[in-house]
A and B are shown apart, each in its own frame.
Chain A
Amino acid sequence: MRNRFILPTLALTTFLQAGIALAEEYKLQSASCKIYEVEKGKFVPSRITPESLGTVIQGKPHGPNHVLTQKDGRNYLLPNSCVSVVEAPVEPSLPSYWTVAVSLFSWKETLNLANNATGVSYDISANYVGVCPGVQWLKPFSSRLGAGLTACGMFATSEAGATSQVGVTTPDYQVRGSTMFGAQVGPQLLWTPGTEAMQLGVSLPVILRIHNLPAPTEANYELSSSLLVAPGLFFETKLRGQRFGISSKVGIIKPISSLSASYSWALALECRL
């Protein structure tokens, strides 16, 4: 008996084309098709039937066969004669969702110490280590691509001091144990290349930072403004289970008024609401 099961898939259409998400579906041509499962690098006969194959998220031609990847990451091999690919309507809109996250972060920033009398300024480095609890809102365009907003409030301990500069006598400014607080808010783009368990992201936050570093004790010296607004660019890897996940983020923060960019990274624990 000819059996036709439509397996909703999105795998081969991960890209947006002219803003329209195309989708593909796999149709299994026969319930009697023999299915092999890829187990530890080998193909072994599977007890799974086309009826119970479940949601397939990716398909690849593989010689005379097709390899279909199920939502749980398992791979199955079927003869090409059993599989046909048809273009299908765009999947129904996926609901947006919220995530709460707490991240540990490190950021090193170059500040400026200026001598108002001579007009000479010196670079000093400020180190921040702290936490950034916040929320993320994400709207999936498809099972592969989503975008959203991320925001968190920064609380950090900081230290600052003159950096070594060859041939330059820097003013004596050394501080430790000062505080910093601020916020990061910005858009985020997430890509799911394979299964839902792993996502790659790019975010472009705007960072607002207020440090509490004391003024220099030496006469005529002034520290650059305690308020900073700077854009950042971060690359993120998210690994997650059903609800909880862990995310690592590395990137740069580049104050508009300064030539120097600084590196920042963070490790976050996330919980999908």
Chain B
Amino acid sequence: MAAESFAAIASLTPAAALAPLLFALCVGLLAPGRAASLALAVATALAFCLCAAVGVARLALGLGGALGFAGAVLILALGLAALSLPAPPQSLQQARESRLNPLLAGALLAGCAAAPLLGAGLEGVLALQFAAMAAAALLGVARAPGAADAGLRFLTQAGLGGAFALIGAMLLARPGSEPLAFAALIGGLAMIAGLAPAHLGAHANAAVAAKGPSAMAHHVIQAAGLFLLTFIALAAYSNPVLARAAAYVFSGLAVIGVGAGALQALAARDLRRLVWAGATAQAGLVALALAMGGPGMSGAMMQIVAFSLATAAMSAAIGAIAPGAPAPIEALDGLARRAPILAVALSVALLSFVGAPLTLGFAAKWQVLSAAIAAGWWWAAFLTLAAVLAAAIVAGRLLGRMFASSPAPDAPAPHAAPVFAAAILAAVLVIGAFNSGALALLADAAIAPAAGRAP
């Protein structure tokens, strides 16, 4: 009886529940007011509960698997960190409209957390696409300069990527169409996740224009998209014909991602742009681990967790330093004297990006590097070391500003809430490193049941 109830709940589609939410959202955007906000609150709560119920039911039936559950937990953690970011300074009218923000963030989190639980089939792609729409609206509803344009670009890119991924997911069910289906799925999800070269345009705009909680929207979408790509890689490597093609595609994405991300991070003068470029290079390393197939899979999963947490810590730190304003790298001058806890937290996040020992980033990069050496992929090992070197140069520059420069006399005091968020995330990055062996075992255990299944 219980199994039948679970099966009935699992067969519901969260995407169908999220569609009315999106329509209610449009009403809220066009005519913000108390009634629209209430309707949105009810729709968001219902959608969130339904997504959670479907996720738990699928997990109980063994349909989602531990990999999806891990993705959902990570995304919820990132979302909670995002909610700690203070909104930019605003007028009374803007404050009234910003009541939409937590609701949109709730829709974004519901979609992103549901996506890895549902897998990279039609359900997962639909959930991710609805989350991307909520992210675009979250970006667009902010009154920051260029925010609406950034939201529109994000929406268009996610829509195009979603269309390709949906067509791919449909073609998967038709025998003989597998190569085309996998190409459409990987290409579409790479567009949504902002993997290079699709990181330019929409994701760049979102990274620079977003202030407050919306600053983390595209990072959350990226983490969910990378989890879905992991499902696709696992499915592709179970098919000998597709395995070779998938390895080539992921290798190409890795080379472009690490190369473009590292060069853009070295050239960046704005902290938000720098974090976006660094995340692009780190996502390139995830693609590299996915290209290696079996031995690289747990490395890919650890790398997604490590770099997402580090990115969230950095975004929280930037939110504390410059909540509603541009954040030039000069804003870090003398940070160690002005806000020692924040400086230490940001340093830990930067060192995790580099892959310094005693951080989770080290464990993840070590896993990727050892998989590359074990597989005899010397170019992949070289690419990993090149990414580490570029990150070290950028981190060294920022650490020098924080610890060796004098603060500007009129430098503002950082906001308290994001400081704590950044400190907690930094502590997780260090504590995680001491559990890296256990984490690797968990990653293997999460991946093993998903290997060979349809995405």
A is bound by B: no
- Give B residues with C-beta under 8 Å from A: none
